Chain A
Amino acid sequence: MWGTSISLFLLFSPLQVIASEQAQQPFDFGEMSAPNYSLPPLPYAYDALEPYISAQIMELHHGKHHQTYITNLNAALKTQTEAVHTSDITTQVSLQQGIRFNAGGHINHSLFWQNLSPASSPDAKTSAAPKLVQQIKATWGDEDKFREAFKASLLGIQGSGWGWLIRVQVGQESRLAIVTTKDQDPVVGKGEVPIFGVDMWEHAYYLQYLNGKAAYVENIWNVINWKTAEERFVGTQADAFKILKASM
């Protein structure tokens, strides 16, 4: 603890710069650049998912909640970069949980916006995902059974979290699976590709659905972007996360 506060003191103290200059090793804080993420724009208008998700929810969810994850992530990454430069390992370790949470929030929401679509779009029809639907049928029997299983998983989440349809590599085989994750834990495991996710935090539906989360889960099928889902299904893990690279 003492070591940590000493390091932080030096980190933010002009004395550190002077001391470095005296040692003829100028320490340029300007060169310590941490990655800086920015809010990816929505691929549709805030009211484009009405009546299934209200414009008010979308505006708060994207403009406030997602932005807050990014703001907190950037701050934590900046502190981490500084801690790496000063070999302050205790600070680096203490930042891990916050980075996981806020980076997870950024990853999850970035994927989520892309895997939603206005209901009137052809992308919102399962016909936009022929290969994926074929494997869904092979896995669950038919689309309805898959939806029932997905719904049951979503409604079984205790607290905040997400439900995902993922593609997972098991040995030689590429399988589909429904997984739920708590809080903002992202789906980033080896061999796992997120296909589409549904945000089950209360902020995702409460203003419109109140305690009726089952209705939210029913209605969200109207605005799933099956075209994006198909692209993620046939693509690589890196393809699925390309939106994150674009928002740096």
Chain B
Amino acid sequence: MSSTLLRTSAVRSGLRVSAPKAARAGLAGTTFIRGKATLPDLAYDYGALEPAISGQIMELHHSKHHQTYVTSFNTFSEQIAEAAATSNIQQQIALQPLINFHGGGHVNHSLFWENLAPKSQGGGEPPKGELAGKINDAYGSLEKFQGEFNKALAGIQGSGWAWLVQDNVTKDVVIKTYANQDPVIGQFRPILGIDAWEHAYYLQYQNRKAEYFKAIWDVINWKAAEKRLA
């Protein structure tokens, strides 16, 4: 993973390599030194995003769903390291979709918690400066941008995410959707993401997902998004 992808300190702390500890590999005589991914703390209470997102959703989403991605990513990372150590190429390839899914789930949620904030901490305050300019250039206004973003969210067929991303070459920003837990990597860097999995809203909004997409803008942390611009 590119270290430039995750620029903000809280996200980095979530993905950071904790004090490296030696882990005994399955193969006799081989020892791997590796760090484990850990669940990042939220910068606000579970209930702090109400009424846009209920405390119950936030607690399950962070402490159960995100934790499962972290745990599974660590498990499969360990397995892929073992497969690499034993030059088992087939096994390394077989594990790659699991690394993508669980690693993506960890990265996406870490970025998501950061780009949310309670209203009392600036949630919903419109973007300023360079990011506001890029959004206006591309979409005309913040309202039009939000309309397009919500259309993208509503158009996801299955589980996935919508992101405002920045093209690493042209520096333009654009809305893109990603299936399941596919992370924003390669040509694009993540600026702002919204989770469109049903677990992100179902307990509060059930099938009325358009209401969730509308409400979440009240707790978007545009300051965090601004910091991610290259």
| In the complex, chain A residues whose CB is within 8 Å of the CB of B159 | 159-160, 202
Specify which of B158, B160, B198 is in contact with A184 (CB 8 Å cutoff). B158
Q: A202 to B202, Cβ gap below 8 A?
A: yes
Of B60-68, B107-115, B134-142, which binds chain A?
B60-68
The interface on chain A, measured as residues whose beta carbon lies within 8 A of the other chain's beta carbons, has a size of 20
Complex CA distance for A202 and B64, rounded to whole angstroms: 14
Partner of B207, one of A60, A101, A183, A184: A60
How far apart are the CA atoms of A201 and B202 in the complex, in Å?
11
- Chain A, 157-172, CB within 8 A of any chain B CB: 158-161
Does A207 lie at the interface of the complex (its beta carbon under 8 Å from any beta carbon of B)? yes
- Contact A160 B158, CB 8 Å, known A64-B207, A211-B60, A211-B64: yes
Are A101 and B157 closer than 8 Å at their CB atoms?
A: yes
Is B71's beta carbon under 8 Å from chain A?
A: no
* Alpha-carbon distance between A10 and B179 when the two chains are bound, in angstroms: 36
A47 CA / B200 CA spacing, docked (Å):
26
Neighbouring A residues of B179 by C-beta, 8 Å:
159
Q: Verify B207–A201 contact, CB threshold 8 A.
A: no
Per-residue interface assignment for chain A, residues 198 to 227, with 1 indicating a CB less than 8 Å from any chain B CB and 0 otherwise: 000111001100110000000000000000
The answer to whether A206 and B199 touch across the interface, beta carbons within 8 angstroms, is yes
Residue pair A68, B207 in contact (C-beta under 8 Å): yes
A210-B60, A210-B64, A211-B68 known; A159-B160 Cβ under 8 A: yes
Of residues 173 through 230 on chain B, the ones whose CB sits less than 8 Å from some CB of chain A are 179-181, 197-199, 202-203, 206-207
How many Å lie between the Cα of A202 and that of B209 in the bound state?
13
Contact B97 A203 (CB under 8 A): no
Query: With A and B bound together, what is the CA distance between A211 and B181 in angstroms?
Result: 16
Shortest CB distance A203–B (Å): 5
Q: Are A211 and B157 in contact (CB under 8 A)?
A: no
Residues of B within 8 A of A147 (CB): none
User: Is A158 a contact partner of B64 (Cβ separation < 8 A)?
Assistant: no
Check: A125 CB closer than 8 A to any chain B CB: no
Q: Does A78 contact B (CB under 8 A)?
A: no
A182 CB-CB contact with B under 8 Å: yes
Residues 79-102 of chain B, each 1 if its beta carbon lies under 8 Å from chain A, else 0: 000000000000000000100010
A65 contacts partner chain B, Cβ-Cβ < 8 Å: yes
Neighbouring B residues of A159 by C-beta, 8 Å: 158-160, 179-181, 197
CB nearest to A100 among chain B residues? B157
Chain A residues with Cβ below 8 Å from B203 are 206-207, 210
CB distance from A12 to the nearest CB of B (A): 21
Knowing A158-B180, A210-B64, A211-B64, say if A203 contacts B158 (CB, 8 Å). no
Interchain residue pairs A-B with the least CB separation, the first 8: A183-B158, A159-B180, A202-B198, A159-B159, A160-B158, A64-B207, A211-B64, A160-B159
- Identify 24 residue pairs between A and B in the complex whose beta-carbon atoms are under 8 Å apart, listed by A's number: A60-B207, A64-B207, A101-B157, A158-B101, A158-B180, A159-B158, A159-B159, A159-B181, A160-B158, A161-B158, A183-B158, A184-B157, A201-B158, A201-B198, A202-B202, A203-B206, A203-B207, A206-B198, A206-B199, A206-B203, A207-B203, A210-B203, A211-B65, A211-B199
